């Protein structure tokens, strides 16, 4: 190949290479995809403490022996309940086992009325009570459905008139409770819950003048919402 042609060919090759390099320099830098961040599953394991508020309904009826003879009575009431709770959970996979205790205040009251021989009208109150319960739950990450059962302790009061006699008495009682609810982690260490409890008949009731024996059956329902802080 003549020297002139070789020189021209080399010059063309160098020019093409330089143009390709310049074009490549003008291309944008490749964008790397952001790493995928996976949130860690929520853990229900550990200690928690919180507060709750709700509403309770109670109705009761029974028989009693009075100085005037056999008699019957009814009682009913409803009102606000509120208090605090603390507990501990153990989690194995989706299974959550726990223990919880709470203490409640009840500002409302109900009425007790005689249905027969003894003139009796009274105001009945349950100013405070507490529960201690086991819980069995099934968790789907941040949501848990659970059942609960255990014992109840509290204080009942009655005041009014019986056979023309004014009285005011109280009695401490124990009984049982069972129910269930759902709890959900809502933000950081906080969870919110909605719960229903059924409470059985109390073991003792306040004494009433003129009543020598009493047999009753009480039905109490509680609906509560609560907020827990998990440590």
Whole-angstrom Cα distance, residue 41 to residue 15? 60
For tokens 């403490």, name the residue: 49
Would 36 be classed as within a structural domain?
A: no
Show the domain range for 97.
46-230
| Spatial CA neighbour of 54 closest among 96, 8, 106 | 106
Would 26 be classed as within a structural domain?
A: no
Give the total number of structural domains in the chain.
1
CATH code assigned at 63: 2.40.160.20
- Do the beta carbons of residue 181 and residue 200 sit within 8 Å? no
Whole-angstrom Cα distance, residue 6 to residue 27? 32
pTM, to two decimals: 0.80
Tokens of 155: 């204080």
| Spatial CA neighbour of 181 closest among 196, 192, 167 | 196
Helices within 43-194 (DSSP H only): none
| Spatial CA neighbour of 191 closest among 107, 106, 96 | 96
Q: What is the pLDDT of residue 168?
A: 95
Q: What is the pLDDT of residue 41?
A: 75
Helices within 94-133 (DSSP H only): none
Mark 14-27 as b/e (b = at least 16 C-beta within 10 Å): eeeeeeeeeeeeee
Would 194 be classed as within a structural domain?
A: yes
Would 16 be classed as within a structural domain?
A: no
Which segment, 72-76, 206-210, 227-231, is predicted with the most confidence on average?
227-231
Would 35 be classed as within a structural domain?
A: no
pLDDT surpassing 70 at residue 76? yes
Give every CB contact of residue 65 below 8 A, 6+ residues apart in sequence. 71, 211, 212, 213, 214
- Do the beta carbons of residue 179 and residue 152 sit within 8 Å? no
SS3 68: coil
Model pLDDT for residues 89-130, shown as the tens digit of each residue? 999 999 999 999 999 999 988 998 877 777 888 999 999 999
Model pLDDT for residues 133-175, shown as the tens digit of each residue? 999 999 999 999 999 999 999 999 999 998 888 999 999 999 9
Phi, psi values for residue 4, rounded to 5°: -65, -45
Model pLDDT for residues 12-63, shown as the tens digit of each residue? 443 444 444 444 445 456 666 666 555 667 899 999 999 999 999 999 988 8
Model pLDDT for residues 172-212, shown as the tens digit of each residue? 999 999 999 999 999 999 999 999 999 999 999 898 888 88
Q: What is the pLDDT of residue 5?
A: 44
CB atoms within 10 A of CB 5: 9
Would 20 be classed as within a structural domain?
A: no
Q: What is the pLDDT of residue 10?
A: 38
In angstroms, how far apart are the furthest CA atoms of the chain? 142
SS3 206: coil
């Amino acid at each position: 190949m003549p020297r002139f042609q070789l020189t021209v060919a080399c010059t063309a090759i160098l020019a093409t290479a330089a143009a390709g390099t310049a074009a490549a320099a003008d291309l944008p830098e490749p964008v790397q995809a952001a790493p995928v961040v996976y949130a860690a599953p929520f853990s229900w394991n550990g200690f928690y403490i919180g507060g709750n508020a709700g509403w309770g309904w109670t109705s009761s009826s029974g028989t009693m022996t009075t100085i005037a003879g056999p008699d019957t009575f009814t009682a009913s009431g409803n009102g606000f309940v509120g208090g605090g709770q603390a507990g501990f959970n153990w989690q194995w996979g989706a299974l959550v086992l726990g223990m919880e205790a709470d203490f409640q205040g009840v500002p409302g009251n109900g009425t007790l009325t005689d249905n027969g021989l003894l003139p009796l009208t009274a105001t009945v109150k349950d100013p405070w009570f507490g529960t201690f319960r086991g819980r069995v739950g099934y968790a789907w990450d941040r949501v848990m459905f659970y059942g609960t059962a255990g014992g109840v302790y509290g204080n009942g009061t009655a005041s009014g008139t019986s056979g023309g006699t004014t009285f005011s008495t109280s009695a401490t009682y124990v009984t049982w409770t069972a129910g269930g609810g759902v709890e959900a982690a809502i933000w950081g260490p906080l969870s919110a819950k909605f719960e229903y409890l059924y409470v059985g008949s109390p073991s003792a009731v306040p004494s009433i003048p003129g009543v020598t024996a009493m047999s009753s059956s009480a039905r109490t329902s509680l609906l509560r919402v609560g907020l827990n802080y998990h440590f």
